[in-house]
A and B are shown apart, each in its own frame.
Chain A
Amino acid sequence: MSVMPAVSGVSGTTGVPGVSGASAGLPGASGVSGMPGASGDADAGEAGDMPAPLAARARLFPALVAVYRAQLSRARVARIPLLFVATFQSIGIMILMRGVVDGGSEARSVVAGSSVLVVAFVALNLLAQYFGQLRASGGLDHYATLPVPPSAVVLGAAAAYASFTVPGTAVTAVMGSLLFQLPMANLWILLAVIPLSGAALAGLGAALGLLAPRQELATLCGQLGMSAALLLGVLPAARMPQVVSYARDLLPSTYGVEALARSFDGQPDWWAVCADLGVCAGVAVVSLAAATWAYRRAAVR
């Protein structure tokens, strides 16, 4: 309780506070100059500072693997129930469509559309929601203050979400083939369809999630994208009005659907399949680049 002599000079000006109007206060900034080392010409001392060595950056591939692994571990707690939802949804759609289409090319596009829908649900919709939430809550700060290349975060997350879709897509394709009695000999094409359309849709989802000004909008965009993939992918293209079929051509999932649908033919046109997958790959590169750019933009505001 003793008055310290060292501060009497200062307390002289603050004798007032406490009882009678504590807000009288000190003249603000004068307290600041009491810092050690800030004596007058702080700049001179600062100029003499040798810049400290920077710690190593995380390299792209190991960082990508670390993000991928971490994201995949989330599957156990968060993603498996949703994957069930996605799979049941697709199987349900195929059962419904059985009454509408009667084999042939329409059946192929229904099965292919329903299978790729699982990819759209997880990679586009859920990833858009994930990044939207991460951005809105400030969770991106965690990654932004680690020396990790932005593309590693985006690619790692996108790859993990695309991987989540593998079991659901495979189950849907097999079930659909059984339902519509389609040949399963060429289903191995899923090994190319899932990663390529997964990458394209995940890139799109990540970009939407990171660019949407609000979290709800990110969710909305993801849902809309998935609805578009559902309507434009599952419904047979031949029955669509001209305008809608243009929209269908713009949606990257369409090319995954087409590639898979073609593979159900007895003698698939492999060049056309490759062309479709090539479009998927091209869109994937562009959308992942866009997502990386969006990540940079979202991380430093």
Chain B
Amino acid sequence: MVCTVRGLVKTYPAARGRRGAPATPAVRASDGIDLDVVRGEVFGLLGPNGAGKSTLVRQLTGLLRPDEGRVRVLGHDLVRHPERAARLLGYLGQDSTALDELTVSLAAETTARLRGLETRPARAARDAVIEELGLGEVAGRPLKKLSGGQRRLACVAAALVGERPLLVLDEPTSGMDPVARRAVWAAVDRRRAERGVTVVLVTHNVIEAETVLDRVAVLDRGRVIACDTPAGLKALVADEVRLELVWRTEPPLDVPEVAALRKAAEACRAAGGGSGRRWTLRLPPDDARAAIATVTGGPAFAALDDFTLATPSLEDVYLALGGRAEGADGLVKA
């Protein structure tokens, strides 16, 4: 077991209102979280914005002291000894201010030095990680001058430099193009295959979660509402398919089947589905077939712009598990 979390509670205190800023109530950002991460796996934390993902990883990395609960990483109690986290894990936060004005190569080298490497190994590690992530061309440029995706990639380089048995990465690939993404996942996979490195990953990208994660914990309002393999989670809603309809004009509601579909779509909308001329429905396969037959014939077809039929994604799982109704906006599909 690489990382064990038991009964983690963290409440951000209420903020008093100031002029121009309304008072905010206390937020329970971690509400009794239990987790176990085993060696060598890529473990994901999935959830919409504000679900408590970053708060959780900040407690795993010793940056934030939990109000209650225990965090053990590789046999060390990080609640009692938060300073040990830096010697056990590599962390990629969401912010790059500390590195922004450095060149890519100096950012990697300095981070390696501060991770305890001597000059020569630090330079070797810097060259290796820049080569590995394909940053050679921009190595001499300051992070600030790079595009968002490249800057993120440079931060990943800084997080990966110097070996650590556990990597905690907070949205490592946000803003990256597919090439950079692939480079990151290849680098993570190599560390896992060669050294059994464990990865805890925050994401709100559903597609990415399905492809790279071994297991995923779905967070909502500071609670883990499910934890399983992506396939296992999807199996929870495997008896349904997702049907999306896009109408070009006002749909013919006088057709009773269409009216029934609209009702179903409204129910889904309440749970975060589409709106207006874009309907999202979650249906048993037979019902979906019947619905498609309805909309691809007669007056409905004349009004229909497009439809898609898909097997459920982790987003559907999230909704089915009772994730916050309006919160699905936070989950990115592309």
Partners in one complex: yes
B89–A46 contact, CB under 8 A?
Answer: no
Selected interface stretch from A134-142, A172-180, A262-270 = A134-142
A66–B38 contact, CB under 8 A?
Answer: no
B239 within 8 A of A: yes
A57–B87 contact, CB under 8 A?
Answer: yes
Known: A1-B285, A23-B325. A10 touches B75 (CB 8 A): no
B28 within 8 A of A: no
1/0 contact string of B256-291 vs chain A (CB within 8 Å): 000000001001101110000000011111010000
Known: A18-B237, A18-B282, A301-B65. A7 touches B232 (CB 8 A): yes
A100 within 8 A of B: no
Name the distance in Å between A186's Cβ and chain B's nearest Cβ.
37
CA distance A92 to B157 in the complex (A): 46
Selected interface stretch from B56-64, B179-187, B299-307 = B56-64
B63–A144 contact, CB under 8 A?
Answer: yes
A148 within 8 A of B: yes
Selected interface stretch from A36-44, A82-90, A121-129, A274-282 = A36-44
Q: How large is the interface on A (under 10, 10 to 19, 20 to 34, 35 or more residues)?
A: 35 or more
Name the distance in Å between A31's Cβ and chain B's nearest Cβ.
4
B124 within 8 A of A: no
Query: Which of A21, A26, A138 is the one whose CB lies under 8 Å from B321?
Result: A26
B1–A147 contact, CB under 8 A?
Answer: no
Q: How large is the interface on B (under 10, 10 to 19, 20 to 34, 35 or more residues)?
A: 35 or more
- Chain B residues contacting A152 (CB-CB under 8 Å) are 114
CA distance A173 to B106 in the complex (A): 34
Known: A37-B36, A69-B110. A19 touches B228 (CB 8 A): no
Q: Could you tell me which residues of chain A, from 53 to 107, have a CB within 8 Å of some CB in chain B?
A: 54-59, 62-63, 66-67, 69-70, 73-74, 77-78
CA distance A262 to B164 in the complex (A): 55
1/0 contact string of B68-88 vs chain A (CB within 8 Å): 000010111000001011111
Closest to B166 in A: A52
Q: Could you tell me which residues of chain B, from 159 to 173, have a CB within 8 Å of some CB in chain A?
A: 162-165
A51–B75 contact, CB under 8 A?
Answer: yes
A67–B114 contact, CB under 8 A?
Answer: yes
A146 within 8 A of B: yes
B293 within 8 A of A: no
A25 within 8 A of B: yes
Closest to B319 in A: A22
B111–A146 contact, CB under 8 A?
Answer: yes
B192 within 8 A of A: no
Known: A7-B232, A31-B226, A140-B98. A146 touches B114 (CB 8 A): yes
A245 within 8 A of B: no
Name the distance in Å between A221's Cβ and chain B's nearest Cβ.
19
Q: Could you tell me which residues of chain A, from 235 to 251, have a CB within 8 Å of some CB in chain B?
A: none
Query: Which of B58, B97, B325 is the one whose CB lies under 8 Å from A139?
Result: B97
B93 within 8 A of A: yes
Q: Could you tell me which residues of chain B, from 14 to 38, have a CB within 8 Å of some CB in chain A?
A: 32, 34-36, 38
B320–A35 contact, CB under 8 A?
Answer: no
Known: A26-B322, A31-B226. A134 touches B98 (CB 8 A): yes
Name the distance in Å between B250's Cβ and chain A's nearest Cβ.
23
A17–B115 contact, CB under 8 A?
Answer: no
CA distance A139 to B267 in the complex (A): 43
Name the distance in Å between A142's Cβ and chain B's nearest Cβ.
4
B224–A29 contact, CB under 8 A?
Answer: yes
A37–B87 contact, CB under 8 A?
Answer: no
B151 within 8 A of A: no
CA distance A35 to B5 in the complex (A): 12
A51–B62 contact, CB under 8 A?
Answer: no
B103 within 8 A of A: yes
A18–B268 contact, CB under 8 A?
Answer: yes
CA distance A49 to B91 in the complex (A): 23
A37–B102 contact, CB under 8 A?
Answer: no
B74–A51 contact, CB under 8 A?
Answer: yes
B320–A141 contact, CB under 8 A?
Answer: no
B138 within 8 A of A: no
B147 within 8 A of A: no
A21–B93 contact, CB under 8 A?
Answer: no
A300–B115 contact, CB under 8 A?
Answer: no
- Chain B residues contacting A31 (CB-CB under 8 Å) are 224-228, 321
A50 within 8 A of B: yes
1/0 contact string of A13-35 vs chain B (CB within 8 Å): 01101111111111011011011
B97–A35 contact, CB under 8 A?
Answer: no
B116–A23 contact, CB under 8 A?
Answer: no
B110–A26 contact, CB under 8 A?
Answer: no
Closest to B324 in A: A23
B102–A70 contact, CB under 8 A?
Answer: yes
B249 within 8 A of A: no
Query: Which of A32, A43, A300 is the one whose CB lies under 8 Å from B226?
Result: A32
CA distance A49 to B38 in the complex (A): 12
A141–B63 contact, CB under 8 A?
Answer: yes
6 pairs of A and B residues whose beta carbons are closest in the complex: A25-B322, A18-B282, A139-B97, A51-B75, A22-B271, A52-B74
Residue positions of B touching A, CB distance < 8 A: 1, 4, 6, 32, 34-36, 38, 58, 61-65, 72, 74-76, 82, 84-91, 93-99, 101-103, 106-107, 109-111, 113-116, 118-119, 142, 144, 158, 162-165, 215, 217, 223-228, 232, 235-241, 264, 267-268, 270-272, 281-285, 287, 311, 316, 319-322, 325
Residue positions of A touching B, CB distance < 8 A: 1-4, 6-7, 10-11, 14-15, 17-26, 28-29, 31-32, 34-38, 42-43, 45-46, 49-52, 54-59, 62-63, 66-67, 69-70, 73-74, 77-78, 133-134, 137-148, 152, 299-301
